[in-house]
Amino acid sequence: MFLRTILNTAHRMVYPFLPIFARGLGVDISTMSLLMTGRSLLGAASPLFAPIADRRGRKFGMLLGISIFTVGVGLVTLSPNIFTLAAALILAMLGKYIFDPSMQAYFGDRIPYAQRGTALAVTEVAWSMSFIVGVPVVGFLIDTFGWSAPFPFFTLLGLIIFFVIWRIVPGKDLHHELTNNSRAGYNAVFTSTPALAGISIAMWASAGNELVNVIFGVWLEDSFGLRIAALAGASAVIGISELSGEGLVAFTTDRLGKPLALTLGLAGNALASILLPFIGQTQTGALIGLFLFYITFEYVMVSHIPMMTELVPSARATMLSLNVTGHSIGRALGAFLAAIIYQRYGFMFVALTAVLFNAAGLLALRRMQKG
């Protein structure tokens, strides 16, 4: 949980500080939105590395992901500019998307399915802690030293993560039998209707979330003139909402059953999307709306992961990596549409589009249950 908080902070810091990064680099919001789209699309390449954790072991996959992450953030440390930032965002995304499935498969090998929702919810606390603790620290660094200040910090932390994983994760894994046939893992996933439907749930839910992710910092700044410290505070509110969502998953998902919990989460996120532009007429209302939006989305995501770990247990890491691809494609779609919809039609239509994506996720869940 602690190590993933570092990775997630580096991943998420771009969203609240998108206008600050844009001004620091001398580019407009549309350029940054396209950069985020490219990041998500290249993150979809993670299935190319999916068999690594099945063939070479979970530890190797985690160490590879950390190495790619550290190289990425190190580029901006050496030469801060738009090109190194683009490379850093892409490599950090790719590294995270190799690390996370390897880590989740590591726990999936060891923890019974009936308790897996609670266990993985604990590791997912890192997602909210990145906004509660990590992003405010990044805001302080940017406010004090400039937009590129977080990157040397993350380079050092990446080296520390590599060392910790190398020391604490066993080299010999008695819970996982290495496989020599990568194609069999892909075939097992692509011939499973529930698996494909589950991946599409990730895509639709992430598309709706990314619409708001990319725009909320711009929206708050445009509406209320919020600056760096206030944007960091808004991020902390979002982090608290996500922490609440993870807590709800830990206490309810294994009891309710993963599909029912996922249904409640998707429906709740659609409702929160509808409410957001209406209650967001004031700064307090906007923060309350963001709280509701992110707590329901986090409930969706953390309920979804343990269910995906058991759909194709013979190729668990491959399944989870392809699930990441669903997230990546969804985030790329949301990032691409976000600036276009916001600049042409306003925040109301951003929220309505998020509702449509949640509805598509509910349809995919129904198809998965039939399968």
Q: Is position 179 within any domain?
A: no
Q: Is position 279 within any domain?
A: yes
Q: Is position 281 within any domain?
A: yes
Q: Is position 355 within any domain?
A: yes
Q: What pLDDT does residue 279 have?
A: 86
Q: Is position 177 within any domain?
A: no
CA distance 245 to 344: 32
Token pair listed for 147: 């937009």
Taking only the tens place, the pLDDT of each residue in 287-298 is 888 889 888 998
Q: What pLDDT does residue 230 have?
A: 66
Count: domains in the chain: 1
Please answer whether residues 62 and 176 qualify as being in contact, where contact means their C-beta atoms are separated by less than 8 angstroms. Answer: no
Domain span including residue 220: 2-168+185-370
CA distance 61 to 71: 16
Q: What is the mean pLDDT of the chain?
A: 84
CATH code of 315's domain: 1.20.1250.20
Q: Is position 176 within any domain?
A: no
Q: Is position 277 within any domain?
A: yes
CA 252, 256, 257, 262: dihedral to nearest 10 degrees?
Answer: -70
Is pLDDT at 148 greater than 80 in this prediction? Answer: yes
Taking only the tens place, the pLDDT of each residue in 302-340 is 888 888 888 888 777 788 878 888 888 898 899 889 888
Q: Is position 180 within any domain?
A: no
